[in-house]
Structure 1
Amino acid sequence: MSIIIKPIITEKITKEGEVFNRFGFVVDRKANKVEIKKAVEAAYGVSVESVNTMNYRADRTTKYTKSGLITGKTSAYKKAVVQVKEGETIDFYTNI
């Protein structure tokens, strides 16, 4: 389970899951598509048709506040959108 970090649960990904059988995950930055496919199939027991990956860079921000200048940074991460076969689904909301 070190490849899949967490599922992405947003309005857009949830709608794609209902309509197109696509589900999103934050994955390890060094994982490739074959490893992601095997990890999802092993963890959720579904057949994966395709995997699309996106790398997001770290963003640096600067805020001007009363107490002075505050700088920050968001983490870089890799997102994978996995399409499962027709008729199969992944349920993130039940605790089994």
Structure 2
Amino acid sequence: MRAPEEIILQPLVTEKSTALMAENKYTFIVDRNANKIEIKNAIEKLFNVKVLKVNTLMDRGKLRRVGRFAGRQPDRKKAIVTLRPGDKIKVFEGLE
């Protein structure tokens, strides 16, 4: 079994993810090969909260240009985690 730090790469803070915090939903960038059960267990171990639901989606990397050279940002996987009412994740405190 992988360590939780290998599964949860970083929190995702955008305008939309900040608005979801009012509904007790938090967004993270996760390992592309992680499944919902692994994500749930990793969040519960890292932040000592109870996860009710995990929604995942794959983001295709955007096409970027530097002069005449075209490249692509890497693909990434996002997870939107719904927590039990009353639970909070301290990483996001002060953003709401």
Give TM-score scaled by structure 1 length.
0.84
Name the counterpart of 2:12.
8
Which deviations, in whole Å up to 9, do the C-alpha atoms of 1:48-90 show, x marking residues without a partner?
0000000112333446x4xxx1212111000000000001111
Task: Report the identity percentage.
Answer: 37
Higher strand share: 1
- The count of aligned residue pairs is 89
Listed as ranges, the matches of 1:5-84 within 5 Å are 5-17=9-21, 19-62=22-65, 65=67, 69-84=68-83
In 2, the alpha carbon distance for the partners of 1:89 and 1:12 equals 18
Larger Rg: 1
Q: TM-score, normalised by structure 2?
A: 0.84
Q: Which structure 1 residue ranges, 5 or more long, are not aligned?
A: none
**Cα separation, 1, equivalents of 2:80 and 2:72:** 25
CA distance in 1, matches of 2:83, 2:92: 18
1:93 positional shift: 5.0
